[in-house]
Amino acid sequence: MPLDWKTVIDKYGKGAQVPTVAGGKFLTVARVDDEAIYIESPIWSAKLHRVNIEKGVELIEAGTISRDPGLFVEDYMLYVAHERASSVAHILRDLGILDRTETFTIRC
């Protein structure tokens, strides 16, 4: 199922704290618009482009990219973009698209 961007805007549009996959920390989403999710930390900020996130979700649905958060990060950088892939993983896990696991699965 394609990513519903309206759901993303409704959930994070006015800012949010997204739990990280591991470590008990939070990713700060400053805002969301039709083009991107904007994230911040005390020392950096980034723009996660909608087109890339949607492509990542399409590749998850197609079975090309893993639903395992650790493997997702590698796959996302390989097939989609080198655009804060771990931050995208935190958001997609929070949306229920990635598995809830905190462990790393090894590929054979």
Say what the pLDDT of residue 103 is.
Answer: 56
Say what the pLDDT of residue 70 is.
Answer: 87
Place of tokens 């639903």: 67
Say what the pLDDT of residue 100 is.
Answer: 81
Q: How far is CA 83 from the centre of its chain?
A: 10
pLDDT tens across 37-95, in order? 999 999 999 999 999 999 999 999 999 999 999 899 999 999 999 999 999 999 999 99
pLDDT tens across 23-33, in order? 889 999 999 99
Q: How many CB atoms lie within 10 A of CB 9?
A: 15
Q: How many degrees, rounded to 5, is the angle at CA 102 between CA 3 and CA 8?
A: 20
